[in-house]
A and B are shown apart, each in its own frame.
Chain A
């Protein structure tokens, strides 16, 4: 087991634009970004509603969302698998072992994170923002959008957080995606496979990419915190 050699190989793979490697990275990005795009609007709407409206069951919903923040992703994968399998209720969609299933899984996993951050963001909004908007003649919809824009940094922080959670998730992705080369093999499932085969070069290369993503997210969050401004 030559770790140094594998590491050198890993960087060679990354820099040479190895097609297989970059397909894996592309699949990871595509699946996670689509999942976030799908999950963010409803999550923001729900977060806003939980923050601003009083309705029966509101408190239970808030507790539920916060509980789901660390819901085991393999259980998400299990439930989704049972739903999507051919004999299951959604079997006719033929989504199992496709990117579509992975996107569904990641959207479900990211949703509580996005909602919780949106909720916190709106709760932290200056109440005068909404009042000013209304007073200047904004319709309820416009006033809501204005409030959300005012807390946009905190909401975007939620999106980055959600991205971090799904880009490196392996349990659900493996189960509903099937780790099929060129189709549903993303960064974490590829790392799992390569490691189990003892081929560390590709695993290390992909691990480096994931770490760079994590670093990027960290930096972005730090910048956002500065801009978002602690009053």
Chain B
């Protein structure tokens, strides 16, 4: 299977402290991975660098066969990778607008956009919440809306940062169910977490980050 995303070397330091010194790394298309590691090991930073939200020294970065200069993600790539924050940020508008946001950014409007957004709302099971002002949603509800907002764009790669870390009980279960769906749909996922249930999902592979180094487990 061809590599979806790969790099030879990735280094990140904060002042004197070297946080990441990892590589070579590659993940394939249609594969789901968790990245485990202790708190502070750099899982979030790694994901954010891959998402283009933070600077890092990368050598030999390739996405879907395209070598990238990591300063600026070209449009094509921006549209293909979606990063979801640990505490997702929903725009202060409506759920419908949030989910349709990425579609509008890609030039999809009108009935087509509405149709796709409705599909995503149904998929995430948040139809009953649609009239609520997004900032007022609970953590679990926000996570599901954020996942729907990402899924509706059918990105080549999902980068999920600790999707269940702040959830428990029913909320956590619902989020895990959605992620299981994504895995079953053969989406490409890179998930930073230490949630037992996610790690043990059928089809889930695993990397471990320790001492700045990534090892496949």
Contact = CB atoms under 8 A, between A and B. Distances in A.
In the complex they form, do A and B come into direct contact, defined as C-beta atoms under 8 angstroms apart?
yes
Interface of A: 126, 128-129, 131-139, 142, 146, 149-150, 229
B92 A135 contact: no
Contact of A142 (B51, B88, B89, B105): B105
Given A126-B89, A150-B92, A135 B105 contact: no
A152 B111 CA distance: 28
Nearest to A135: B83
A138 B106 CA distance: 8
A133 B85 CA distance: 12
A131 B85 contact: yes
Interface of B: 51-53, 75, 78-79, 81-85, 87-89, 91-93, 101-102, 105-106, 135, 149-150, 153
Contacts of A134: 52-53, 78
B82 A135 contact: yes
Contact of A146 (B51, B78, B81, B91): B91
Interface of A is mostly: helix
A128 B101 contact: no
Contacts of A137: 75, 78-79, 82, 102, 105-106, 153
Given A131-B53, A229-B135, A136 B89 contact: no
A122 to B, nearest CB: 15
Given A128-B85, A229-B135, A135 B51 contact: yes
| Most-contacted residue by chain B among A126, A129, A135, A150 (CB, 10 A) | A135
12 contacts: A128-B85, A131-B53, A131-B85, A132-B88, A133-B105, A134-B53, A135-B78, A136-B82, A139-B105, A149-B92, A150-B91, A150-B92
